[in-house]
């Protein structure tokens, strides 16, 4: 991984290793990959073929660094999101088991037999409303905030204050990412830009509608195997 910005001093770049490059975590980091023409899904409607091995390295690193991984129920319903695992080298650096996946859902219309819910080394948690919590099976830990709808700011606070998750990583999808940005909960966007134009009918945009323009402050840019890794701050 080559750092382009901030321009490295002459000699070895101390941030060439993603674990060091992304080590300064904010409270809530949004990490997603998209094609240059703005699609977050590949031709199969998933993300695996977008960023290749370079993006997987950063993806795995962001997971290894964080305290909890937030995902929207829509991404879980693709059936392709497995339980968080840690490779040996990352486990050694992290020094603790994988971060739990935290699924955000109003409906709790989820397949509870998925390995995400049955095989996770660190059990998967669900964030929903107080009225929704009765739809979760007894063995799943639930964070319930808000009456009939999920109160996202309260849920993020509860993850921090009650469960001790200081650093959160949201991996999308677009609907959850949009809701978090609209609620001003995202501190940093880590965007991997895959060197491809996908076009095609199955083009899923990075975000939905926002209430207002959100200015971004670029803080770093890296290049690895043609993939650009951009970091932006949302709140200062
Ligand atoms: N390129 C990438 O980095 C990336 C990352 C992740 C996913 N994806 C792709 O994105 C697609 C899925 O994205 P998506 O936008 O359809 O779904 P999503 O954001 O993963 O999940 C949407 C669901 O999350 C819950 N949700 C969202 N906002 C909420 C809020 N404010 N309060 C409570 N619950 C909320 C709702 O669940 P309920 O319906 O259960 O109430 C909603 O239907 C998939 O194709 C996946 O492959 C791409």
Q: Which residue puts its alpha carbon closest to atom 47 of ligand 1?
A: 46
Ligand 1: residues whose CB is within 6 Å?
A: 32-34, 40-41, 45-47, 72-75, 78, 104-107, 109, 150, 152, 171-176, 179, 204
Distance 130 CA to ligand 1 centre (A): 20
Whole-number pLDDT of residue 13: 76
Q: What is the pTM of this model?
A: 0.97
Beta-bridge partners for 188: 29, 233
Q: CA triplet 33, 210, 124: central angle to 5 degrees?
A: 50
Domains and CATH numbers, the chain: 25-66+173-236 (3.40.430.10), 68-166 (3.40.430.10)
- Cα of 174 vs centre of ligand 1, distance in Å, is 6
H-type helices in the chain, by residue range?
Answer: 18-21, 48-65, 73-77, 88-94, 115-118, 152-161, 174-182
Token output for 200? 């095609």
Nearest CA to ligand 1 atom 41: 106
Alpha carbon of 106 to ligand 1 centroid (Å)? 11
Task: Name the strands in the sheet holding 188-194, side by side, starting at the edge strand that comes first in the sequence.
Answer: 2-5, 217-224, 227-233, 188-194, 28-35, 168-170, 68-72, 101-104, 125-128, 141-144
Sequential pLDDT tens for the chain (236 residues):
999 998 887 777 777 889 999 999 999 999 999 999 999 998 777 887 889 999 999 999 999 999 999 999 999 999 999 998 999 999 999 999 999 999 999 999 999 999 999 999 999 999 999 999 999 999 999 999 999 999 999 999 999 999 999 999 999 999 999 999 999 999 999 999 999 999 877 689 999 999 999 999 999 999 999 999 999 999 75
State which H helix or E strand residue 224 sits in: strand 217-224
Of 58, 97, 83, nearest in space to 192 by CA: 58
Tell me, in angstroms, the distance from the centre of ligand 1 to residue 227's CA.
Answer: 24
Q: Which atom of ligand 1 is nearest the CA belonging to 129?
A: 33
Closest residue by CA, ligand 1 atom 1: 40
d(CA 148, CA 78): 25
Tally the residues of the chain. 236
* Atom 9 of ligand 1: nearest residue by CA position: 173
């Amino acid at each position: 991984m080559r750092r382009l910005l901030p321009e490295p001093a002459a000699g070895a770049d101390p941030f060439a290793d993603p674990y060091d490059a992304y080590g300064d975590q904010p409270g809530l980091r949004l990490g997603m990959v998209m094609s240059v023409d703005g699609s977050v899904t590949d031709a199969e409607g998933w993300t695996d073929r977008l960023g290749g091995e370079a993006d997987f390295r950063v993806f795995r690193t962001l997971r290894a660094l964080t305290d909890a991984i937030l995902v929207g129920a829509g991404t879980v319903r693709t059936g392709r999101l497995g339980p968080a695992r840690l490779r040996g080298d990352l486990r050694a650096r992290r020094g603790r088991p994988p971060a739990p996946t935290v699924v955000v859902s109003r409906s709790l219309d989820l397949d509870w037999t998925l390995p995400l819910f049955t095989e996770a080394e660190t059990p998967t948690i669900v964030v929903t409303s107080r009225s929704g919590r009765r739809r979760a099976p007894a063995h799943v830990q639930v964070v319930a905030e808000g009456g009939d709808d999920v109160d996202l700011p309260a849920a993020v606070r509860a993850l921090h204050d009650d469960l001790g998750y200081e650093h959160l990583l949201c991996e999308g999808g677009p609907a959850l990412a949009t809701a978090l940005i609209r609620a001003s909960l995202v501190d940093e966007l880590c965007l991997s830009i895959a060197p491809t134009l996908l076009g095609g009918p199955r083009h899923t945009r990075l975000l939905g509608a926002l209430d207002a323009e959100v200015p971004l402050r670029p803080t770093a840019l890296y290049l690895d195997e043609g993939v650009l890794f951009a970091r932006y701050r949302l709140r200062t």
